[in-house]
Amino acid sequence: MLSTVPVQRLLEGVAEALHADVAPHVDDRFALMQLRAIEELLVNLAGRVAWEPAEVAAEADGLGDVLAALRAAGWAGPAAPGATAPPADAAARRADGLAALREALAWLAAREEDGGAVAAAREAATAFLREGNDRERARLRSGMYA
């Protein structure tokens, strides 16, 4: 009988096998560095294979707030990210929101005004992107980012 192993556990298992079973037999320093990099990549990928629903919903909500600030600054983007998806489908709202954010950031880059709603939109977009970057960096399991 074929068992189903979650992809996350499979990636972690391969990383563990590389560390415990392969690395002790590698004598070349360069090859060992490459092996460690692959282990690290697998461990970090395992943690990102599937997002927790609460994380997806929180990011979709944050995108909605940023896009609202951009619309207040004059961007004529979609009224509500995820309007084509059921409200409960946070992944679709997130995907729609990210597509809209790409367009909104291009619009924002072309604005020269620094005051009022445009400045507030820039601050909101910058804060959203920094927070996302900080969250992702905190999730990394690596000696390189410690």
- CB 67 within 8 Å of CB 79: no
Q: How confident is the model at residue 146 (pLDDT cuts 50, 70, 90)?
A: very low
Q: Are 20 and 57 within one domain? A: no
Give the range with max mean pLDDT: 13-22, 82-91, 133-142.
13-22
Q: Are 103 and 39 within one domain? A: no
**With 60 as the cut, is the pLDDT of residue 111 above it?**
yes
Within a domain: residue 1?
A: no
**With 50 as the cut, is the pLDDT of residue 21 above it?**
yes
Backbone angles phi and psi of 5, in degrees to 5: -110, 130
Q: How confident is the model at residue 60 (pLDDT cuts 50, 70, 90)?
A: confident
pTM for the whole thing?
Answer: 0.65
Mean pLDDT of 11-34: 94
Domain range for residue 89? Answer: 53-139
Count of domains observed in the chain:
2
